[in-house]
Amino acid sequence: MNNVTPRPVYDSPRGFFSLARKIPPPSGEYHWVYLWEWPIRAMHWATVLCLIALVVTGLYIGMPYFIIGSDSAPHFLMGWVRFVHFAAAAILVAVAMLRIYWLFVGNRFSRLPSLFPLRPRDWSNMWKQVKFYLMIQPEKAPHYLGHNPLQQLSYTGIYFVAITMIVTGFAMYGQSNPGGLIYNATNWIGILFGGMPVVRFIHHVLTWAFLIFIPIHVYLSIRADHLERTGVISSIISGGRFVPADQKYIDGEDL
């Protein structure tokens, strides 16, 4: 790390749109850090595909606007849509189980503590991170290699939403075979929530949590890639990113 050319720091923005223009081009010495092991990347992209399939087919199940005529037998469209929904649901459950396993065996960027802002420093950094996203004092943003505290909180939140979708989804699925294994395992959920219509309502409303989360997630990834210029988006394909050698990272103790 000796003889490192100092990187230019950026000024405080003077106008709403001026931040991006003030970021200097990358220069100086960079290190490549390996963050996301291949199972994490595979799980990420499998989840993306599952969520697209589940949201599209789920919204169609809720409001089947393409149904042609009153007799569905010739085209069996709803049957196929439901099949895709349940197949994607099964893959999502498999991915969720693997992700839980990976909370214990993954590297420090994907293990359990990386998903919960439990340390006091994470809570004070979370506020600084909010100010960074609001373009207030961006130069004071805390630097993390893995998830920043706001990401930790939002990813944990979306995992809980996904678990609720799985639980409510299986509770509905079980109703098609009263007395069957899934029915017996999940029927208490309808009783707990006050009836299957409520379960269905929760399943429908939480779909919108994904429809809100996904564009924000994509926008913030593109924004970080553009502003930090360290290959953030590539990291979920290649596994790592380049970081400036002179930059201190809160979660980069042993770099």
Q: 33 pairs with which residues across the strands?
A: 241
Specify the stretch interacting with ligand HEM by CB under 6 A; choose among 21-29, 52-60, 66-74, 242-250.
Answer: 52-60
Exactly one of 19, 30, 43, 85 binds ligand HEM (CB under 6 A); that residue is 85
Through-space distance between the first and last CA atoms of the chain, rounded to whole angstroms: 11
Residue 160 binds ligand HEM (CB under 6 A)? no
The answer to whether 190 touches 196, Cβ cutoff 8 Å, is yes
Residue 162 binds ligand HEM (CB under 6 A)? yes
160 φ/ψ angles, rounded to the nearest 5 degrees: -65, -35
Radius of gyration for the alpha carbons in the chain, expressed in angstroms and rounded: 22
What is the smallest separation between the CB atom of 74 and ligand HEM, expressed in angstroms?
Answer: 19
The answer to whether 51 touches 214, Cβ cutoff 8 Å, is yes
Distance between CA 249 and CA 113 in Å, rounded?
17
Exactly one of 34, 76, 86, 116 binds ligand HEM (CB under 6 A); that residue is 86
Specify the stretch interacting with ligand HEM by CB under 6 A; choose among 119-127, 130-138, 170-178, 221-229.
Answer: 170-178
Interface of this chain with ligand HEM, residues 205 to 244, rule: CB under 6 A = 207, 210
Exactly one of 22, 82, 223, 229 binds ligand HEM (CB under 6 A); that residue is 82
Residue 166 binds ligand HEM (CB under 6 A)? yes
Residue 203 binds ligand HEM (CB under 6 A)? yes
Exactly one of 23, 46, 59, 202 binds ligand HEM (CB under 6 A); that residue is 59
Q: What six digits make up the tokens of 115? A: 């998903």
Residue 29: which of 176, 201, 214, 246 has the closest Cα? 246
Helix residue ranges, H only, 134-195: 149-174, 181-193
Exactly one of 36, 58, 228, 232 binds ligand HEM (CB under 6 A); that residue is 58
